[in-house]
Amino acid sequence: MAQIGYSKKVMEHFMNPRNVGVIENPDGYGQVGNPVCGDLMEIFITVKEDKIDDIKFRTFGCGSAIAVSSMVTEMAKGKTLDEAMLITRKDVAEELGGLPPQKMHCSNLGADALHAAIKNYWVKIGKIKQEEVKEESHEGEGGESCGT
Ligand code: FES
């Protein structure tokens, strides 16, 4: 298999992912699919005093997607919901020390699933309306398939 240059951090999060699992009756739940490869990520959050108190993920995807999920949950835990909404796909990839170009699309799911979970919570508490929850764009960040 060709060596495509994963950072140490990606490997470490893939081998030892943080916050794996499911939260029963979460305050917020987000699920996104990656249109490039069909992989799927779910994020569950509980909220206390407007902060992410607990967060877990379940990812049916490649190693990079698992590393991204692990990293995004670590970045988001303890942050206020507004702060967590500012975490971008690029931030997650950068925190991981970068991803190989052909795996950049795998970094899309993390921030998108996190934002979906927060919006789900906001709909539940009446802060926003369901109609305001629109899919985040999956365009423009490494569109090519990685073939896994
Ligand atoms: Fe599907 Fe990486 S997220 S191949």
67 lines ligand 1 (CB under 6 A): no
Q: Which of 138, 131, 132 is nearest to 113 (CA)?
A: 138
Q: Tens digit of pLDDT for each residue in 11-29?
A: 999 999 999 999 999 999 9
CATH of span 17-126: 3.90.1010.10
Q: Distance from the CA of 53 to the center of ligand 1, in angstroms?
A: 28
- 5 band by pLDDT with thresholds 50, 70 and 90: confident
Residue 126 Cα to ligand 1 middle (Å): 33
Nearest CA to ligand 1 atom 2: 106
The average confidence (pLDDT) of the chain is 90
Half-sphere exposure of 15 (CA within 13 A, CB side): 7
Q: From edge to edge, which strands make up the β-sheet containing 40-48?
A: 28-33, 40-48, 51-60
Q: 44-95, pLDDT tens digit by residue?
A: 999 999 999 999 999 999 999 999 999 999 999 999 999 999 999 999 999 9
Q: Where are the domains of the chain?
A: 17-126
Strands 28-33 and 40-48, how do they pair? antiparallel
Summarize the confidence of residues 99-117 as an average pLDDT. 93
What per-residue string of b and e applies to 44-63 under the rule 16 or more CB within 10 Å gives b?
bbbbeeebbebbbbebebbb
The CB of 64 under 6 Å from ligand 1? The reply is: yes
